[in-house]
Structure 1
């Protein structure tokens, strides 16, 4: 890759500053934003936009005390007028790029694998369950709430980490590896491992402050002399197939879409054998259009009930610190998608704590037990069309970190973080 010259970098920064100031952010130096983001601590004025029939976007400022605040952006959608879809990909995309054609608006999706090492990424980055274009591409390792879409209508419910599948054409039961209990379900001979079993670590970095990474040697399934790992990899052309067979375990958790662990070899299963998730307990997957695991409910996060998420997120956004958040709720035929905006390197505008989030939801008339986290952090963003133009709210501070010592930071507040999933909304025809 050709590195930009100092003149090109200077021009890029000047253009970024021009755009930022046009949006009301008085930024003097793009490269200094990694340490000082106080320019983004700007209170929005109340605004209520009708984007399309059944689609409204409201923006307001919410005080949190002692001079702190968050900007709250809420999409409210009438599901009789609008249909929802989970858009997910193993490669990345930017949220505003989705808002074209029939797509009215898009919201940053659920938690994905978080690491700053581009050379070590999982084959399937979505943590736990993912249904893509009618095919379950990633099975859950633990019971979590999930967004399931049938006929464009979303539902949110707990999704058990157990069910049935076919392996090499034969039916088997499976269970998630992170399900609580002294031992796996004896009636389920296959145990699912995946990227959600990873543990994010942090190390200091002189330019960015810290880096998130995974220790490769320890990022493997447990060793067991009698066990066999069947690494399952998905592709649009061939579906899910067994791509590796590892007697004794020790499979890299990022080596496939997920891994099936058996306590002994499974008869007649060879490389290339087809795999199909046929049921997740209580849910026939053949009726699903799309779906994805969610974060904890706002109430559970406020109560600290987040053990299923913390290790695979590193410095968890569910501890009692302020973070930007993306929330989702369903109520009386309406879907609400909400951003609690914030920039981490400010004094007064850092998002909201789990407890503050619960209080804000309750003040809006939403039961915190039935509002769920879609995301937390720099990817909290809504993209939409208004007056014929694409626009965004949320995470305007976002910087793309350098991958080399000589590379500058790049402001990407309009594009936001490169994502693996999003919720997209279209008019019902």
Structure 2
């Protein structure tokens, strides 16, 4: 594509240029940013801000060698003064939308969700693997992964086994994730196997304007065929809870059709019919009723640096945990302190692309954090913090983000302050116990 920088800027591009210059970036042409993002490669000065009681933001540049660097933004949250909520939706939201209420001070992108550039084929539940929304477990994990869980307003980061119990049409069953090593789906009586959107394989194809597109082949995005098994597609709604919406004898259920798929052996699952009620009762040996919210997250910085990321690679396509530089969002819990760190980067630069997994672990150590206790909340271009300061919402991280055109004649649109549409985020609010009467 040839970029004509001398062409007059559209009104939207003029507004975008003005916003970027207000943030200190010397931008002249929004359309050129699709191929050259060097104007974002600006080292930031060291800064410490108090956003609200118990919430502090530290900013600094981190040198990586060979003139490469990342800008680090760290939120330090005292949980005696602030609480953390995991917010997730199916329709999505912009990060800034979560900030600005009287008790909502900051939000951080948490975006290990399925990403496809095909609007006609999206999963019913976009939060890959486990998700608990507004006190309801809406999807089950396919593999053992870390998760951020909130119970009674208290966050915890736990390694979550893909096991548990549920009732299906009034009968109690055990369930296990389909990616569990050594497990043969649908072959053990009384044991259901969970499939979901995280069983998909994202494909990358070249594109003349955007560089690449991400997509999934619907014909291949199904549960494995097995004549001895039957698959039940389970969907969730706020009014009806979990219900069986499709039955597939022999497998072949669309992985995106519901919130998850349950596989059973044929001889002992004949009683299940369309519309059957499903109630999730236990997750990794724990009663799910005390859960307020939660999402599965990425590996620890230590595990990513060591290459222990097999559970993530296929469903994320070009995995952010390869030995390449990407922007990152990390979260760690240290007693009553929650630490959230964004390591920023723009992919269309030479010196400011983010950090590799090993550089991420090293940056954690340099900041005094144990890499084994800092987990990836995000691993790409949506790594961002939105926060309230002097009654104005500001953002840091991912300022390069462009909305890709759908049609060949459409321009790129700068979305830096909004970022891309997210399906999950962490929101920092005032602790109710600390509010004034």
For the superposition of Structure 1 and Structure 2, which TM-score range results when normalised by the shorter chain?
over 0.9
What is the number of residues matched between the two proteins?
423
Q: Is the 8 A contact 2:128 2:296 kept in 1?
A: yes
Q: Which residue of 1 aligns with 2:261?
A: 259
Q: Is the 8 A contact 1:110 1:295 kept in 2?
A: no
In the alignment, structure 1 residue 279 sits paired with structure 2 residue 282:
yes
Q: Is the 8 A contact 2:111 2:382 kept in 1?
A: no
Q: Which residue of 2 aligns with 1:133?
A: 134
Q: Which residue of 2 aligns with 1:3?
A: none
In the alignment, structure 1 residue 307 sits paired with structure 2 residue 323:
no
In structure 2, which of residues 216, 219, 224 is the aligned counterpart of residue 217 of structure 1?
A: 219
Q: Is the 8 A contact 2:188 2:265 kept in 1?
A: no
Deviations 1:269-313 (A, max 9, x none): 221111111001222101100011010000000000100000000
- Cα distance, 1:261–1:65 mapped onto 2, change above 3 Å: same
Structure 2 counterparts to residues 269-348 of structure 1, below 5 A: 269-348=272-351
Distance 1:182 1:278 in 2: 22
Partner SS for 2:372: helix
Where does structure 2 lack aligned partners over 5 or more consecutive residues?
1-6, 433-437
Deviations 1:34-79 (A, max 9, x none): 1100000011111111111100011100000110000000001001
TM-score relative to the length of structure 2: 0.95
Q: Which residue of 1 aligns with 2:398?
A: 395
Q: Which residue of 1 aligns with 2:4?
A: none
Partner SS for 1:42: coil
Deviations 1:300-353 (A, max 9, x none): 000001000000001111011100000000012100111000000001100000
Deviations 1:79-120 (A, max 9, x none): 111111110011110000110212111100130001111111
Partner SS for 1:314: coil
Deviations 1:2-59 (A, max 9, x none): xxxxx99711111111111111111111111111000000111111111111000111
In structure 2, which of residues 233, 236, 239 is the aligned counterpart of residue 237 of structure 1?
A: 239
Partner SS for 2:304: helix
Q: Is the 8 A contact 2:111 2:422 kept in 1?
A: no
Distance 2:91 2:408 in 1: 25
Distance 2:411 2:170 in 1: 52
Q: Which residue of 1 aligns with 2:27?
A: 27
> How far off is 1:224 after superposition?
1.3
> How far off is 1:266 after superposition?
1.7
TM-score relative to the length of structure 1: 0.97
Give the CA RMSD over aligned residues. 1.3
Structure 2 counterparts to residues 171-186 of structure 1, below 5 A: 171-181=172-182, 183-184=184-185, 186=188
Structure 2 counterparts to residues 200-211 of structure 1, below 5 A: 200-211=202-213
> How far off is 1:183 after superposition?
2.6
Distance 1:18 1:110 in 2: 28
Deviations 1:187-224 (A, max 9, x none): 65210000000001111100001101111111000111
Q: Is the 8 A contact 2:202 2:215 kept in 1?
A: yes
Structure 1 residue runs of 4 or more that deviate by more than 6 Å after TM superposition = none
> How far off is 1:186 after superposition?
3.2
Q: Which residue of 2 aligns with 1:362?
A: 365
- Cα distance, 1:134–1:14 mapped onto 2, change above 3 Å: same
Q: Which residue of 2 aligns with 1:411?
A: 414
Distance 1:187 1:250 in 2: 20
> How far off is 1:405 after superposition?
1.1
Q: Which residue of 2 aligns with 1:108?
A: 109
